[in-house]
């Protein structure tokens, strides 16, 4: 009797594959259902299926079209992000440390912030054309706000006694900025950077799609433009879904990479 009770309460040892298997079960089932549905449809370009999506992905990768487009989009994201990083951090520190600067700049920032990056696109295209400069300006615009706001927040939240401690040790002002304010707000700045990369990636896809529409596809390049070609010319949803999956995986990889970077750069928080 007591044996039976103990047996029921004790956790049963599980094989190592048990947890991943449980996690994979539902997605696999859904994939199978999706494939089954797609085979009942007459037109394979309008009813994408897992098998066709995979085949398209392999074809696009082998031809080099997908890697080239992906690299082009990633390059734009990094370029725009880098500009936003410098501008956001510098202005953020200025706003976080000086009430005068903050009072002067905040109303401007707050009135632009609700304007979505896509809403700025028409101006960007008219000013910079449909190539990389327009894409960079949209990405930079999108990435700027999360960076700026998180930097301002981080800088203004710095523990006052840490600043006082540095002053009582005769540390000059600029050095306090570099040695106390910056590291103290680093977690906040890194959070802003991670959010900024996320929205930058979203913005570049949308911008390339839209610029693709304006330029008729090919010209502007990037994975978003590639999707536009699938949509408007080949009319093949398999290609679009393949792109969607790649975009999602890249976003996930960027996020993971950045979380790793945060852990490395702020070891005192873990």
Q: Which residues bind other proteins (CB under 8 A)?
A: 159, 161-162, 164-172, 175, 179-180, 183-184, 186, 266-269
* 110-122 b/e (C-beta count within 10 Å ≥ 16 → b): eeeeeeebbebbe
Between 166 and 225, whose beta carbon lies closer to other proteins? 166
Between 93 and 121, whose beta carbon lies closer to other proteins? 93
Between 22 and 179, whose beta carbon lies closer to other proteins? 179
Token pair belonging to 7: 């047996």
CB of 161 to other proteins, least distance (A): 4
Q: Whole-angstrom Cα distance, residue 149 to residue 95?
A: 10
Residues 6+ apart with CB under 8 A from 117: 138, 139, 141, 142, 199, 203, 206, 207
Between 83 and 177, whose beta carbon lies closer to other proteins? 177
CB of 184 to other proteins, least distance (A): 7
Between 97 and 132, whose beta carbon lies closer to other proteins? 97
CB of 164 to other proteins, least distance (A): 5
Question: 53-62 long-range CB contacts below 8 Å, 24 or more apart?
Answer: 53/238, 53/241, 53/242, 53/245, 54/242, 55/238, 56/236, 56/238, 56/239, 56/242, 57/242, 57/245, 57/246, 60/239, 60/242
> Distance between the two ends of the chain, CA-based, in angstroms?
47
CB of 166 to other proteins, least distance (A): 7
CB of 265 to other proteins, least distance (A): 10
Between 100 and 168, whose beta carbon lies closer to other proteins? 168
CB of 189 to other proteins, least distance (A): 13
Angle 133-134-139 from CA coordinates, rounded to 5°: 95
Find tokens 């408007």 and name the residue: 232
């Amino acid at each position: 009797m007591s044996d039976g009770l103990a047996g029921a309460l004790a956790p049963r040892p599980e094989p190592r594959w048990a947890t991943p298997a449980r996690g994979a079960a539902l997605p696999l089932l859904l994939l199978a259902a999706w494939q089954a549905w797609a085979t009942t449809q007459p037109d394979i370009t309008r009813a994408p299926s897992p098998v066709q999506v995979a085949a398209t992905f392999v074809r696009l990768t082998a031809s080099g079209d997908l890697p080239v487009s992906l690299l082009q989009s990633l390059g734009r994201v990094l370029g725009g992000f880098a500009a936003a990083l410098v501008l956001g951090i510098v202005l953020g520190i200025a706003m976080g440390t000086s009430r005068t600067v903050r009072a002067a700049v905040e109303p401007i920032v707050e009135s632009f912030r609700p304007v979505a990056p896509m809403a700025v696109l028409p101006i960007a295209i008219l000013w910079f054309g449909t190539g990389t400069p327009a894409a960079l300006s949209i990405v930079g615009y999108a990435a700027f706000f999360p960076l700026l706001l998180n930097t301002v927040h981080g800088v203004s939240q710095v523990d006052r006694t840490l600043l006082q401690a540095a002053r009582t040790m005769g540390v000059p002002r600029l050095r306090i900025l570099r040695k106390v304010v910056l590291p103290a707000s680093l977690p906040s700045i890194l959070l802003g950077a991670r959010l900024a990369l996320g929205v930058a990636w979203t913005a570049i896809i949308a911008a390339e799609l839209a610029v693709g529409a304006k330029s008729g596809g090919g010209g502007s390049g990037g994975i978003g433009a590639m999707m536009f070609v699938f949509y408007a010319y080949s009319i093949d949803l398999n290609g679009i879904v393949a792109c969607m999956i790649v975009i999602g995986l890249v976003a996930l990889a960027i996020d993971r990479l950045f979380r790793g970077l945060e852990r490395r750069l702020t070891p005192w928080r873990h």
